[in-house]
Chain A
Amino acid sequence: MIGEFWSINAPALLIAIPMLGAFATPLLGKMGKTPRNLWILLITALTFATSALLAAEVYTTGPVIYTFGAVDPAVALVSDSGGIPVRIIFNVDAMSAFMALMASVVGLVAGIYSLPSGKMKSGRDGYFSLLLLLLVGILGMVCTGDLFNFFVFLEISSLAGAALVAYRIDKGVAVEAGLKYAFLSSLAGLIFLYAVALLYGQYDSLNIAVIAERMQFGFLDKVALALFLTGLAMKAGAVPMHFWMPDTYSMAPSAITAFLVVSSQASLYGVFRIAFTLYGLRLNYVTVGWFIIILGVLSMLVGVSMAILQENVKRLMAYHSISQTGYMLLGVGVGLAVLGDPAMMESFGLTAMEGGLFHLVNNAMYKGLLFLTAGAIFFRAGTHNLNKLGGLGHSMKLTMLFFIIGALAIAGIPPFNGFSSKLMIYESVFAFNPLLAIIAMVVSILTLASFVKVFHAIFMGPKRGEYAGVNEVPVPMLAAMGILALLTVLMGIFPQQFVDLMIRPAAGALVNQGSYIASVMGGL
């Protein structure tokens, strides 16, 4: 009974549970610290369970439609609606379910990691409310089948994210970073909304499936596409618009940074959804594909070369985030560039997309892990400056272990997950254009060099006097890092199984525009 209820309403509960959690957190905060912490754990775990259930359903039976406010949520087209969906719908296909699962895992980890409060004693209720709202925003973005709804969730995640970035309000710089983030993301949101208005004016609908079916690709659609890509690439931190990323990522509390990585990837999901599902084959896919590839290559190069110069651990990692985003753009861009050619798609295009998407989830895992270890170091040593840190390997052994796992994964060393996804990208991109694959490999080597330096600076060397009192971080933080480290290792040891299980259906769902339209409009 409960199980059936749960599975029918899973897409709505995915949003409703964290929303209820966010709204009720101030009430539970009045009751004390322990009830509130238990509440956060309960809500994030329930969200994770719901997304796992939803993913299981989507992967076994195909896309799930949820119509809000309807009598029967599974029916998008009511008999008197004239053949178009009139309500807001959630259209959860394999790609959405995959992103939602990833986001809820990171949400759970960020929730657990934030439980020990450290120095900040005030405003914790607000912190957790915003954390859950950020989760709502990301989950809504990846699940929705409605363009305007996407914009609303984009803004929810931007506002919650900006407020969280500025959480360490006693530092002026944190507020500055929050201001930058809020400014950039609301401008990106407005650009996105303008494009939505252009499409709405032409096709009289906000539903992605309806617009995709009616798409003509005239002049205004091209303008709209350019605006969509600009707005979302701004939020995803691809290179010409990357300047907010190091500031924001380095100033936010570490759990939030790990979560903001997922938030950027949700914007990346938006790019893919717009390019593949909304425009699809009507798009000038070679040009747009190459545009995305060039963005990706630029992001890789600029990100890694700036990262090498950094002295602040979190700024360094933030620049690496930019460069890792480049890999995803490269992989999926190659897939888009050969979208119309079945033979090339079969031989390497799909593999490139799978590599890109696999890299996306891997990045969320190991990048999250690295940011959490940076947070753990800050929690005990009180600084992010590489020149001041040193010798922490003696007292923080577990953190060091987690850092090693994360660093090897990001550098693409077997048997960690970064290796498998990068290998998929290298192989397929080499078949497409050898030069791009070589650039990707060089970037990977530079990444390794940079992390060897960081590792040496933080953990190696003799025990320093000023860190004599430093010991291991509290258990919840270790548990949070442990979950991510475990996933990083598991996905590295069984990459083939994981790709077959999760990634291939997701890439297939992205490429197959017809089935997305049919899942809403009928006629399967």
Chain B
Amino acid sequence: MNMSSLVRTGAGILMPFLLVFGFYIVLHGHLTPGGGFQGGAVIATAFVLLMVAYSYEIIWERISLEFLKNTETLGLMLFILTALIALVAGLAFFGNWLLGAGGLFGTPVSYGINPGDLNTGGVIPILNIAVGLDVLGAMSVIILTMLFAVRRDA
């Protein structure tokens, strides 16, 4: 695939913004609409943009499938372990063991209408990050393997 240099330059300029936007959605999942899945999907879209703009073989060389699969496994393990730690903390499965504990993510939510504090939410931001990692890995793997299968025919 040989896209014009306009498309390639445009993709290069858009790429960092897409990544920042994706991670913003993941990290603000407990305050604003969005969350792990949506943010992960946006990040995966950034990869698709690169694949469309540049030849997919170049992407295949730079981002290995193994790396993406590992990202996926990391996200899944983070997710399930966060849920399991709640059992050790004496709560039910998926219990919010960080709630009100102070520190990162542990600030109690202030009452009434407020602009929102990123440090609230307990385990919810952690679960969002886990899902984000998982989705960005899984979606990229799906798209890369599908492209690979299509291109091998041609």
Contact = CB atoms under 8 A, between A and B. Distances in A.
Contacts of B87: 5, 9, 12-13, 16
A16 B85 CA distance: 12
Contact of A70 (B73, B80, B84, B91): B91
A210 interface: no
B92 interface: yes
Interface in B65-101: 69, 73, 76-77, 79-80, 83-84, 86-87, 91-96
B92 A16 contact: no
Interface in B24-46: none
A31 interface: no
A442 interface: no
B93 A12 contact: yes
A66 B92 contact: yes
Interface stretch (A21-29, A254-262, A500-508): A21-29
Contacts of B94: 68-69
Interface residues of B, number: 16
Contact of A12 (B69, B79, B92, B96): B92
Contacts of B86: 69
Contact of B93 (A5, A9, A27, A72): A9
| Chain A contact residues: helix, strand, loop or mixed | helix
A69 B99 CA distance: 12
B80 A23 contact: yes
A19 B76 CA distance: 10
B5 to A, nearest CB: 39
A27 B92 contact: no
Contacts of B80: 16, 19-20, 23
Given A23-B73, A23-B76, A24-B77, A16 B83 contact: yes
A5, A23, A67, A72: most-surrounded residue (chain B CB, <10 A): A23
Contacts of B96: 69
Contact of B92 (A5, A20, A26, A68): A68
A23 B77 contact: yes
| Chain B contact residues: helix, strand, loop or mixed | helix
Q: How large is the interface on A (under 10, 10 to 19, 20 to 34, 35 or more residues)?
A: 20 to 34
B15 to A, nearest CB: 28
Contacts of A70: 91-92, 95
A15 B87 CA distance: 13
Interface string A49-69: 000000000000000001111
Contacts of A16: 80, 83-84, 87, 93
A182 to B, nearest CB: 15
A476 interface: no
Interface in A260-294: none
A22 to B, nearest CB: 8
Interface in A70-93: 70-73
Interface string A326-343: 000000000000000000
Given A9-B87, A12-B87, A16-B80, A69 B73 contact: no
Contacts of A24: 73, 77
B84 A20 contact: yes
Contacts of A67: 92
B93 to A, nearest CB: 3
22 contacts: A9-B92, A9-B93, A16-B80, A16-B83, A16-B87, A16-B93, A19-B80, A23-B76, A23-B80, A24-B77, A26-B69, A27-B73, A66-B93, A67-B92, A68-B93, A69-B86, A69-B93, A69-B94, A70-B95, A71-B91, A71-B95, A73-B92
Interface of A: 5, 9, 12-13, 15-16, 19-20, 23-24, 26-27, 66-73
Given A16-B80, A19-B80, A27-B77, 20 more contacts: A9-B92, A12-B92, A12-B93, A13-B87, A16-B93, A20-B80, A23-B77, A24-B77, A26-B69, A26-B73, A69-B86, A69-B91, A69-B93, A69-B95, A69-B96, A70-B91, A71-B91, A71-B92, A73-B92, A73-B93
